[in-house]
Amino acid sequence: KQWYQRRVRGHKEDSPVGRVGRFLGMSELWDDEKQKVFAKECRREVMSAFNEAESTRKPSPYLMFDDVYSEPSQQLSEQRAKLADHLAKYGEHYDLDKYDS
């Protein structure tokens, strides 16, 4: 485990991002306070995008069968039919109103 931790630490220190960070720090273009503000800003943007994605309707589960082949194979058609049967039988266990038809 210690070997792994040393190796990961070494990769972090030697990564391009780490090297640029050290360069900016030595050039006094970046500091811990700027890093904290930047991290907070990034988190806010990511969470905003995540919340937006979570609030939109999901694509139909049947889309996974489209555009696989120019013409659906027999096996693909059977799998689509099995999904339809499964959802008809157990659909109440899924939050299907969040999905397009």
- CA angle, residues 76, 79, 84, in degrees to nearest 5: 130
Predicted TM-score (pTM) of this structure: 0.53
Dist. CA 98–CA 95, nearest whole Å: 6
The 3-class SS string of 47-58 reads: HHHHHHHHHCCE
CA neighbor of 99 nearest in space, from 57, 42, 40: 57
pLDDT digit string (tens) for the chain, length 101 residues: 677 777 777 666 677 877 888 889 889 998 989 989 999 999 999 999 999 998 899 999 999 999 888 899 999 999 999 999 999 999 999 988 888 87
